[in-house]
Structure 1
């Protein structure tokens, strides 16, 4: 029997993914640098501005703004505004808990009603069988829940500088590694004619 052809990686997806990753990582780097040179309040102000620039750049370059970065941007502006107005860093520290908890609740709650909501986010890029969408949605929902718990533990028990450092240089590697771990799922549940896709990276900023 002839050998089965190796799956072809859809490299055309890599460029927009890398642009998207860079746009989402940018505000976090700004947040880290300003916090190290000034304080959490100055960093929050710059973070808010960088988020607005990132969303505008996403629209100009990719001609769209993904749902999750848009929701995250709104939460950043609301909780960042409260942080600056009340001069209370608790609000910006709780922002990742709120955002990740919201994503987890939406994804896992949708599964309870038989809806794989992640399909509505990535359905124009990835082609999966229904079981694959359910598994991918479950995995990302649980991952967001874990990130929310980690954030609660860190901001309540460690210094602000440690929290900022982990938010920038800890959460990103964890997210990328988790995303890469989903590659086998994308391959397993893709239709036979589909190429092997670059796994999605959903960054909580």
Structure 2
């Protein structure tokens, strides 16, 4: 079994956030262009999506090589990017890649919801070592995050179906991640009273 290794946190962030940012920049450069491949015309968005897939896989490969580990969430996200990126390219239809975000957030919400129905927090299984917290705290955080993912899934549907591709790319790259990060920061502050104190074990 591969041992987990520590790496520079800034490098880790660059590998995780670099591919989405690269997609955003590539899209800005190609959005007004069209390309001919094999007699088929592809928009700049489609080409940016095709470039994004190997960029993300390369970054994840480097991350795995340096740390010896990938989280289930990272693996699942990579699978979804490959699958829907492939559908986008194959059918030459940008809607597949836009729907990917809805399905990712929606599935996260469903998975957490299934755990809640069983009286469990699947978050605790994944994050308990990093964030020691009592069961009550995990259940509260799981309920709130389940709702947050559901809201983000609905929001993505509304954004890509009613707004321009330009706006969707900007919200996908910056809006949703920032909203999720702010939400989590607020929750951790509110749940401080449920944190385990290692000095009182």
Instruction: State if a TM-score over 0.5 links the two structures.
Output: yes
- Provide, for residues 122-160 of structure 1, a one-character-per-residue CA deviation record: whole Å limited to 9, x for no partner: 122111111011111112111111110110000000111
- Provide, for residues 158-197 of structure 1, a one-character-per-residue CA deviation record: whole Å limited to 9, x for no partner: 1111100111121122122112112224421112336xxx
Between stretches 77-86 and 52-61, larger displacement belongs to: 52-61
In structure 2, the CA distance between the partners of 1:133 and 1:106, relative to structure 1 (3 Å rule), is same
Q: Note if 1:107 corresponds to 2:112.
A: yes
After the TM superposition, which residues 51-66 of structure 1 pair with which residues of structure 2 at under 5 Å, given as runs?
51-66=56-71
In structure 2, the CA distance between the partners of 1:21 and 1:112, relative to structure 1 (3 Å rule), is farther
- RCO comparison, higher one (Cα < 8 Å, 6+): 1
Following TM superposition, by how much is the alpha carbon of 1:20 offset from its aligned partner in structure 2, in angstroms? 4.4
SS in 1 for 2:130: coil
Aligned twin of 2:140:
135
- C-alpha distance in 2, partners of 1:183/1:98? 26
Give the TM-score normalised by the residue count of structure 2.
0.83
SS in 2 for 1:124: coil
Number of residues of Structure 1 aligned to a counterpart in Structure 2: 181
- C-alpha distance in 2, partners of 1:91/1:169? 20
Give the TM-score normalised by the residue count of structure 1.
0.82
Q: Which runs of 4+ in 1 moved over 4 A?
A: none
